[in-house]
Amino acid sequence: MPLFYDRAETEDKIIIQYKNSLLYFGIYVFMIAAAAVTLLMGLVVPEIFCFMVPVVIVVLFLLRFSTRDIDPEIKDAMKKKKAKITGSRFSASEPLTIEISKETTQEPA
């Protein structure tokens, strides 16, 4: 089950919508944890970066490997000019949505 996107398929199109709620939740939890560590333990800025950088790297790897299944499909649709992209990757009200129209083969009459 993908963590960062939803994929729906109909007869004529494929809709891929990125989930922003998990990303925002992770950012908020991370910010609260960093603030708590800073206030409770009296750490200075360089010590916080030693803690934060590995966590950010792990989240970026999760994001990259979670979306690797759909990346070739999106790239192929963009090359063939069949992708319609709306929204923003970091917008909570209008998440990034990619509509890929399927090829319809018309039978000769």
| pLDDT above 90 coverage of the chain, percent | 24
Strand order in the sheet with 13-18: 5-9, 13-18, 97-101, 83-86
104 has pLDDT over 80 = no
- Looking at residue 13, its pLDDT comes to 93
| Residue 38 three-state SS | helix
Q: Are 79 and 69 in contact (CB under 8 A)?
A: no
Whole-prediction pTM? 0.66
pLDDT confidence band for 83 (50 / 70 / 90): very high
